[in-house]
Amino acid sequence: MSDVSFRRRSVLFMPASNPRALAKAPSLACDAVILDLEDAVAPTAKATAREAAVAAAAGARACAVRINALDTPWGRDDAAAVGGAMAVVVPKVARADDLIAVRAAVGAGGPPIWAMIETCGAILALGQIVAAAAATRTELLIAGTNDLAKEMRCRPDAARTPLLPALSHLVIAARAGGLTVLDGVCNAIGDEARLAAECAQGAMLGFDGKTLIHPSQIDAANAAFGPSAEQLAWARAVVTAFAAPEAAGQGAIQLDGAMIERLHLAEAERLLASA
C-alpha cells in the first residue's frame, strides 16, 4: 500500500472472511484498505471474519475495519475488538448520536471513526454529524452510494445524475468540518471507461478519493485523485512566483497573464504536499 499515510485517493473494501484477499492486501498500490465485517460477510462467518480482521489490522499502517452496526448481534463485539485498526468504519450513520455511541463502544483511546453516509436521514443530518466529529474523533466521511440510491428509490445513470446533489452536499459538509471525504464505489468491475468517468467526476466534485471494490480499480483512482503533471507544474510556478522579491507583501500578482492570489498559493502548496 501507499507510503504517504495522509493520502486517501484509493481505499479498497475487502471481505475479512477471504483469507487470500487479506494476504494480498499489503502488496496492493491502494492508499488504504477497509476490511469488511458487514455487507460482504455472511452471518455464519461474522465471528471468524472478526478474528481475521483483527489479526490483519494489528500493526498495519493503512488498514481500517468496517464493523456491523451496534444494533446488530455482532456490532458491539466488533467495536470492542478493533482497537488495533487504523480506523473503525461505521455503516449507516444517521445522526450525531450514532457517532457518540460508537465512540463509547470503541473507547476514548480507540481508533478514529470513518462514518458512512448512506441514508436520506444522514444527508439531512450532515450538519450535526460534522459538528460532532471533533468530540467523537471522526476524521472521514464515505459516500455510501448504493444504499443511498436504494433508499431514494432513484435510478442512477452512468453520470449518477440523481445522486449529484447529495454528493455535493456531502463534500460541502466535510469541507466545513475539516474532514476527509471519499466517493462511493463503482459497481461496474471491468468497465474501465465507466470507472474513469466516475473517478473524474468525483475529483471534479471535490472528493479526496474513492472507495473501491476490486484491485483492478486502484490505478484509475490513484490517477484521478492524485495531482496531474500539469497541476504540479502550475503549483510550482505559483510558489516560485510568490517567492520572488517583487511579490513580497502582495496579496495578488500576475502569472502567465492570469491573476493569482494567496488562496492560490495555499492550494499550490497543498498540491505539492500531496505529491
Q: What pLDDT, on the 0 to 100 scale, is given for residue 199?
A: 98
Q: Which residue has the cell 487470500?
A: 20
pTM for this prediction:
0.88
Q: Where in the chain is the domain with CATH 3.20.20.60?
A: 10-225
- DSSP annotation of 184 reads -
Q: Which residue has the cell 454528493?
A: 167
Query: Considering only CA atoms, which of 261, 193, 275 is closest in space to residue 228?
Result: 275
Which tens digit of pLDDT belongs to each residue from 212-232? 999 999 999 999 998 777 888
pLDDT confidence of 74, banded at 50, 70, 90? very high
Q: What pLDDT, on the 0 to 100 scale, is given for residue 59?
A: 67
pLDDT confidence of 5, banded at 50, 70, 90? very low
Q: Which 3 state secondary structure label does DSSP give 62?
A: coil
Residue type, 204: M
| CATH code at 10-225 | 3.20.20.60
Which tens digit of pLDDT belongs to each residue from 14-73? 999 999 988 888 889 999 999 999 989 999 999 999 999 999 998 677 999 999 999 999
State the number of CA atoms in the 13 A half-sphere of 84 facing the CB: 12
Straight-line distance from the first to the last Cα atom of the chain, in angstroms, rounded to the nearest whole number: 16
Q: What is the mean pLDDT of residues 252-272?
A: 88
Which tens digit of pLDDT belongs to each residue from 150-200? 999 999 999 999 999 999 999 999 999 999 999 999 999 999 999 999 999
Query: Considering only CA atoms, which of 77, 73, 62, 67 is closest in space to residue 98?
Result: 67
